[in-house]
Chains A and B, each alone.
Chain A
Amino acid sequence: ILNVEQSPQSLHVQEGDSTNFTCSFPSSNFYALHWYRWEAAKSPEALFVMTLNGDEKKKGRISATLNTKEGYSYLYIKGSQPEDSATYLCALWASGTYKYIFGTGTRLKVLA
């Protein structure tokens, strides 16, 4: 059974705060990792595609890092804004299979 774990489950921050979440996965099963943003009443949309150990990706105020050897990825949001409120999902492409497994997500609420 492949477990992709995310922490924390939920998070409330004040507007302007910076925050980060963690995605943990079995390092032996790594092929690729993706981060998604899932807004209420919408469907998940991909933020980052990460494939190499040490990868760092950035899109505006949001960035992500990847450590495949220890099996984790961090997502950072700098200067959180109310429009950043969403559930952030990570998804693991497991090597040796075609299974695409999602974590349970981190629900972020940014308070104005």
Chain B
Amino acid sequence: DSGVTQTPKHLITATGQRVTLRCSPRSGDLSVYWYQQSLDQGLQFLIQYYNGEERAKGNILERFSAQQFPDLHSELNLSSLELGDSALYFCASSPQGGLGTEAFFGQGTRLTVV
């Protein structure tokens, strides 16, 4: 158990809908990252937060947004969902500033858009 908790584990929703994925980092970790893994693809970096502020942005669609709250948990909001958004979404956390440190991953949320 990495100490990173993601909810829900599975989510099935229809096209056009909006969902929120939640991540609780390891105790004491200030950095949170979100990754998307689509079928046969690697981990695509979406976004990173550090202590409540956005620190780096990857290939995140405009339909997607995220935030990190004062208690350090993070949420990834996916709206106007399309079939191609079906994927495994991972959250990871790392200590303090994060730069150069390894990440600890949650179990992922599997999103299926039908």
Contact = CB atoms under 8 A, between A and B. Distances in A.
Query: 9 shortest A-B CB distances, which residue pairs?
Result: A104-B42, A43-B105, A46-B102, A98-B56, A102-B43, A32-B100, A98-B55, A99-B56, A44-B105
Given A43-B106, A97-B56, A99-B48, 20 more contacts: A42-B107, A43-B90, A43-B105, A44-B105, A46-B102, A46-B104, A51-B100, A89-B42, A93-B99, A93-B100, A98-B55, A98-B98, A98-B99, A99-B45, A99-B56, A100-B48, A100-B56, A102-B35, A102-B42, A104-B41
A17 interface: no
A49 B95 CA distance: 14
Interface of B: 2, 4, 33, 35, 41-43, 45, 48, 50, 55-56, 58, 90, 98-108
A14 to B, nearest CB: 25
Nearest to A103: B42
B42 to A, nearest CB: 4
Contacts of B103: 34, 46, 91, 100
A49 B98 CA distance: 13
A31 B100 contact: yes
Given A43-B90, A93-B99, A93-B100, A101 B2 contact: no
Interface in A81-102: 89, 91, 93, 97-102
Contacts of B35: 102
Given A34-B102, A98-B56, A99-B48, A43 B107 contact: yes
B63 to A, nearest CB: 21
